[in-house]
Amino acid sequence: MNKNIELLLVNSFAPRQRIASDAALENGLAVIRTYLEDRGFSVYVADEQRISLVEKGVPSWCTQLLRTLVKLQLAYNSRFKLLSILALLLAWPVQSLALGFRKNHMDTIIDNIVTLVKAEQIPFVGIKVWGGAPYSWSIKLSQKIREASPETTVIAGGPHVKVYGEYVLAQGEFDLAIMGPGEEMLEYLLNMRKTVPTKAAFLELVRREIGTSPLIRTGHYHEQGDYMFHSFTIPRYRPADMSDKLWFHTLIDGLGCTWNKCSFCSHTRQNTHYTPRPVDEIKNEIMAMTSRGIAFFRFSSSETPLGHGRAIAQMILAEHLKINYSMFARPGKPSEHDYETYRLMIRSGLRAVFLGGETGHDEINDKIMNKGVVRKDIIDTIQCIKLAAAAEGVSCQIVLSMIYPCPVIPGVTLEEVFEQNVSLIREANPDAVIVNPPGVLPGTAWFDEKEKLGFKLGEKFVNELMRYEYSIYKPVEFWRKLDYTLNDLDVKKLLKEIGRLNRAIVDMGIPINISDDYLMMSQAIGYSSKADLFEFKRSSFVDIISGTSNYIKRITKTMNERSELLATTNPPQDAPAATTTKE
């Protein structure tokens, strides 16, 4: 380890996995490290978010017992309810014990990081903050670092800052936070720190030169649109970065969304609409990844418009690149040209699409969601993708995302919305569905008009929401209370409504809560039918509830082998430059 670390980057983590792809390659921190190392800085990454580390700190007898009880609970659930309840009750204290062990281990990780920071007198620690338990862990880490090493500046960044902005710093939890791309701003701050003798003088200089708020907005989150973000960096993954990880790379194909008006969406905090990334840069990044054995990609933009997707697909085919990828898309009114575009993208490796539908009720999608689409658009887009895949003789699966329950308008009942949702899903027949609760996030139209829409939020709601951790191993009646209602439905009733819709979806033979990235990769190992996806869901659910990794570890090994095998079919390439200037 370098003895003169200038920046320690830490990936926050939860005591349990939430989804099977939690341990994907950590591209964000690798980008920052690559960018700064190319400019002569010494950067170290601490990342505990790995597949098998979810069991770390818990005695093997405890994980084995818990796994057995969870399997019994699920096995008896449909036929012998009383036995299932008994297994649940027996598992409950073991769950608490296992979580206690895990939290003690997470505290040990904090102590180890603090010891390193203090011993090496590291001037900066950057924490990639995720929601729920990782946010609480990040706060605890920040507090302990600042107590033990008062001259160290702690900076928060990552998805939680992009969603909650200034609320992340409401009680001075961190010295600074960066909302948006961080690499150029961190370079600026690292250089600035060298010009002053103390942390206090540095923070005063930040206030004078950047602004009085400790929340620093960059890129699309700044009114300028490109503040401190003038280049894309291709991350250099090291063997340690790839160890015990799921080998898919999150590739920035563009920034933002062409619509950017959805009333519920935190992406509307961005001040610039969709900006495509130059196709040549995307080509360079794909080539860099395949040279390292990575051939699975998730396009990261909120939407990959068909025109840009077509250009990327043409490049992939022209360069004879062999990859699989997934992307986010908006429903539309498919034309013959759109159909041909989907065929082209599927030919180039598109294997899964995440489609935001939100609801099957047109009036609700218009007046409540401001989605800009109708149910016919959703159905037609799904059918267009299916027809394109059939024409190519290759599977391309679709995840449909919904929001339910949701606010309603006069003359429309929640039951009518439920029925329209069921009708939409039955007619569209996607490969998987994700039903999201009605989140009220700062900076969105829903948050600004909450009372009008029927939301009631407590004074500490945002603070509670940022820390809220779902307890999937408990019945919802025992979940932690959240001071939040929608038209007199509290959290428990909202979750029961979600469960009602989920049961209706499963009764149609459609699996739930499987992400597009896993759909894309599961096809590579032969999981192509809905029965396969149900088996994947059941087996991975055992891991997630029990805090073990038996199945996910096994399936990840197979996925990584397929990724590496596919990558070897690509022509050898010269290593491209790590950083390219934005146009």
Query: Which residues of the chain form CATH 3.40.50.280?
Result: 7-217
Query: Which residues of the chain form CATH 3.80.30.20?
Result: 246-439+492-538+549-568
Full-model pTM? 0.93
Residue 477: which residues within 8 A CB-CB, separation 6 or more? 492
Which amino acid type is present at position 170? A
Confidence (pLDDT) at 351 = 96
List the CATH code of the domain at 7-217: 3.40.50.280
3-state SS, one letter per residue, for 367-390: HCCCCCCCHHHHHHHHHHHHHHHH
Angle (nearest 5°) at CA 186 between 182 and 188: 125
Q: Which two tokens stand for residue 504?
A: 């209706």
Q: Which fold has domain 246-439+492-538+549-568?
A: pyruvate-formate lyase- activating enzyme (3.80.30)
Summarised one tens digit per residue, pLDDT across range 179-193 is 999 999 999 999 999
Most confident of 75-84, 224-233, 367-376: 367-376
Q: Which two tokens stand for residue 55?
A: 């069991």
Summarised one tens digit per residue, pLDDT across range 106-147 is 999 999 999 999 999 999 999 999 999 999 999 999 999 999
Report the distance separating Cα 500 and Cα 348, nearest Å.
38
Confidence (pLDDT) at 581 = 52
Cis peptide before 197 (omega within 30 of 0): no
Query: Could you tell me what percent of the chain has a pLDDT over 90?
Result: 77
Residue 358 near residue 365, CB atoms below 8 Å: yes
Q: 176: how many CB neighbours lie within 10 A of its CB? A: 22
**Beta bridge mates, 399:** 354, 432
Q: How confident is the model at residue 575 (pLDDT cuts 50, 70, 90)?
A: low
Q: Which two tokens stand for residue 66?
A: 């818990």
**Beta bridge mates, 381:** none
Q: How confident is the model at residue 1 (pLDDT cuts 50, 70, 90)?
A: very low
> What strands, in cross-sheet order, belong to the sheet with 324-329?
249-251, 296-299, 324-329, 350-358, 397-403, 432-436
**For strand 432-436 and strand 153-157, is the pairing parallel, antiparallel, or unpaired?**
unpaired
Residue 42 near residue 78, CB atoms below 8 Å: no
User: Chain centroid to CA 44: how far?
Assistant: 23
Confidence (pLDDT) at 455 = 96
Report the distance separating Cα 358 and Cα 268, nearest Å.
16
Confidence (pLDDT) at 316 = 98
**Beta bridge mates, 297:** 249, 325
Residue 55 near residue 550, CB atoms below 8 Å: no
φ and ψ at residue 581, rounded to 5 degrees: -75, 135
